[in-house]
Amino acid sequence: MPGPRRPLVVTADHELLDDLLRLAAAGGTEVDVAPDPAAARARYPGASLVMVGSDQVAACVRARLPRRRRVIVVGRHSDMDATTWQIAEPLGAEHVAVLPTAETWVVEQFSERPEPGPASRTIAVIGGRGGAGASILAAGLATTAVRFGHRTLLVDADPLGGGLDLLLGWEDMTGLRWPGLSGADGRVDPPALLGALPRRGDLVLLSFDREQLPGVPAEAMAATLDAARRGRDVIVADLPRQLDDAAVLALQAADRTLLVVPAELRAAASAARTAATIRMHCEDVAVVVRGPAPGKLRAREVATALGLPLAGTLRPEPAMCQAVENGTAPCADGKGPLSDLCRRLVDDLMGTRTSTAAPA
């Protein structure tokens, strides 16, 4: 499990950075530092506090960093003017701090220890090639997480993946789909968003409208991830192999990414390119190898060739495939190799060890 989230300082102004490091030390905390929004993006959503230097405010707005709580714009009096608030507003900045006047107040912000929220965890799943089985694994992870008492959001972010609503047997359920979030910019009430999505029990799904399959807007993905971090225990994201901006946001928010690869030489070669791209955005990447292996290629050989740890294997389950065709979600009964794998992966993600399913 990761350590406590630290404040994030975003500035390329060395003098301002020196001042903020001094004030953070006075507040008894260490900070992460990013010189620009590109370097900040991965840590931006989860930081306990974000201090954006006046030199980077406009760049952060252009980069369309998601709105979040506890964002403060800070700079010297000579760097501020009447437009600072207008520029900072799209970031959701709560305050503009002018140094040196506000130094004592800034120290107080660094020293404040916000109440820890729920330990939400995110796992992304990507296929090493088309038809690798990533969607089956994503759906299995989501249903397994719910079975063991975790409030879960399943995000279908692959417009060409066939539809997770079909895989769950939810295609006739009413509720908000991606097109309904096309105008989201972060000003979304988390309970309202989660309450508008299709759901059964503690499983909530965000998928595509079958009549309209656009790409996922990055702003909608950012708003969804923010809402889910506040209202779900587990977020499972089924992502496309060709990463768009929304998929990159999900990867950067993921605690772990699983790359699903068939046990075939050409599939492994294709997955190597995908793995290299994933690693640019997520540190914890592992491979799940799907059998059968026509050429007797072993799962560990695939993992070694990709330079990734082996998270597990998928074996053929004709009975499960037949059940899915009849509208039963993967792992709904908790039986079979896929259920065993998903249970172990959820345990690893949450840092727990389950023995029996949570009561209904």
CA–CA dist 51, 48 (Å, integer): 10
C-beta pairs of 53-56 under 8 Å, 24+ apart in sequence: 53/9, 53/10, 53/11, 53/12, 53/13, 53/16, 53/17, 53/20, 54/13, 54/16, 54/79, 54/80, 54/84, 55/11, 55/12, 55/13, 55/16, 55/79, 56/10, 56/11, 56/12
27-31, 134-138, 291-295: range with lowest mean pLDDT: 291-295
The per-residue pLDDT for 223 is 81
Does the pLDDT value for residue 347 go beyond 60?
yes
Cis before 292? omega within 30: yes
With contact defined as beta carbons under 8 Å apart, do 116 and 195 qualify? no
Strands 71-76 and 95-99: parallel
Q: Which residue has the tokens 């029990």?
A: 201
Q: Residue 83: which pLDDT band, with cuts at 50, 70 and 90?
A: confident
The per-residue pLDDT for 252 is 84
| Average pLDDT score, the chain | 87
Task: Report the pLDDT averaged over residues 221-232.
Answer: 85
Cis before 90? omega within 30: no
What pTM did the predictor assign? 0.74
The per-residue pLDDT for 302 is 94
> Which of helix, strand or coil describes residue 310?
strand
Q: Model confidence over 130-172: pLDDT tens digits?
A: 888 999 999 999 999 999 999 999 999 998 888 899 999 998 8
The per-residue pLDDT for 184 is 58
Does the pLDDT value for residue 3 go beyond 60?
no
The sign of the CA dihedral 254, 250, 358, 165 is negative
Task: Give Cα separations from 134 to 39, 272, 332 (angstroms).
Answer: 29, 16, 17
Q: Residue 281: which pLDDT band, with cuts at 50, 70 and 90?
A: confident
C-beta pairs of 174-181 under 8 Å, 24+ apart in sequence: 174/198, 175/199, 175/205, 176/206, 177/206, 177/207, 177/208, 177/209, 178/206, 178/207, 178/208, 178/209, 178/214, 178/216, 178/220, 179/208, 179/209, 179/212, 179/214, 181/206, 181/217, 181/220, 181/223, 181/224
Most trustworthy range by pLDDT among 22-31, 209-218, 346-355? 22-31
Q: Residue 118: which pLDDT band, with cuts at 50, 70 and 90?
A: low
With contact defined as beta carbons under 8 Å apart, do 334 and 318 qualify? no
The per-residue pLDDT for 358 is 36
Of 88 and 15, the structure prediction assigns the larger pLDDT to: 15
Task: Report the pLDDT averaged over residues 6-21.
Answer: 96
Q: Residue 51: which pLDDT band, with cuts at 50, 70 and 90?
A: very high
CA–CA dist 248, 281 (Å, integer): 7
Of 189 and 180, the structure prediction assigns the larger pLDDT to: 180
The sign of the CA dihedral 195, 201, 206, 212 is negative
16-30, 173-187, 312-326: range with lowest mean pLDDT: 173-187
The per-residue pLDDT for 94 is 86
The per-residue pLDDT for 117 is 52
Determine what percent of the chain is predicted with pLDDT higher than 90: 53
The per-residue pLDDT for 354 is 46
Does the pLDDT value for residue 319 go beyond 90?
no
CB atoms within 10 A of CB 309: 11
14-28, 72-86, 208-222: range with lowest mean pLDDT: 208-222
Sheet hosting strand 50-53, strand order edge to edge: 32-34, 8-10, 50-53, 71-76, 95-99
Most trustworthy range by pLDDT among 244-248, 298-302, 356-360? 298-302
